[in-house]
Amino acid sequence: MARKILAAGNWKMNMTPTEAKTLITELVEKCKGAKNDVLVCPPLVDLPAVLEIAKGTNVKVGAQNFYYMDKGAYTGEVSADMLKDLGVEYVIIGHSERREYFSETDEIINKKVTKALEKGLIPVLCCGESLQQREDNVTFDFIRTQIKIALRGVSKEDMTKIVIAYEPIWAIGTGKVATSEQANEVCADIRNCLAAIYDQETADRTTILYGGSVNKDCAAELFAMSDIDGGLVGGASLKSEDFSIIANA
């Protein structure tokens, strides 16, 4: 089953609102007519400006995080309703940096996935192993556990609304990239896991991205693999020329 490629840019904690305006203006122009779907996920304070400039273009906008409660005394957090009211369509959930630096557990990630779906946001669900886990040959078991817990209570119908991003922690921001074969092998196993939870049709329809130092030089080879449907791009998404190349890879 043919799945369209998605080039998703995670800006992380980069770009002031002023800088974001410049970048999204350049991206909108350079990604006009891109053959792949295009998504950018700026910091929360940049969202209004980015959404305004991207409105009516082929560039979709997502958030990097949110809290799973609807409202209340949760200082510093934002809700799914707040993101929806702005016009956000996607939200990254379970990024390794959220797991590591902010102690997000698989159970918290599951709450975020189900809340995002309830509110009509498209989750970009991240999973991935550390270098130690890869060296211990537990990559597949570890990632399957992440996926199974994150998808608890998610129906077959809702699964078709989720994007999964495989991001080996050892390749994020390190300049190291898993070989195309290594990345594809894990993405294929994630698809097999989805087939076991749901069915093969659901698995075949799910977009699975690779995220781990994806750049303009390796994107085409990665995206050509059988089970890789695009990339969750970090540093290269902050350079309009590089990201436009990835958007057409």
3-state secondary structure of 32: coil
3-state secondary structure of 103: coil
Distances (CA, A) of 55 to 47, 64, 156, 172: 12, 19, 31, 30
77 a catalytic residue: no
Closest alpha carbon to 96 in 182, 170, 149: 170
Catalytic residue among 29, 77, 95, 129: 95
SS3 content of the chain, % helix, strand, coil (to 5): 45, 15, 40
Could you tell me whether strands 207-210 and 6-10 are parallel, antiparallel, or unpaired per DSSP bridges?
A: unpaired
- Quote the CA–CA distance of 108 and 89 in Å, as a whole number: 21
Structure tokens belonging to residue 58 = 């082929």
- The total of other beta-carbon atoms located within 10 Å of residue 116's CB is 26
97 a catalytic residue: no
Beta-carbon contacts of 72 under 8 Å, excluding residues fewer than 6 positions away, are none
User: What's at 138, amino acid-wise?
Assistant: V
Structure tokens belonging to residue 43 = 């910091």
Beta-carbon contacts of 136 under 8 Å, excluding residues fewer than 6 positions away, are none
Catalytic residue among 107, 167, 181, 201: 167
Helices (H), 128-179: 131-135, 139-150, 156-159
| Residues tagged active-site | 95, 167
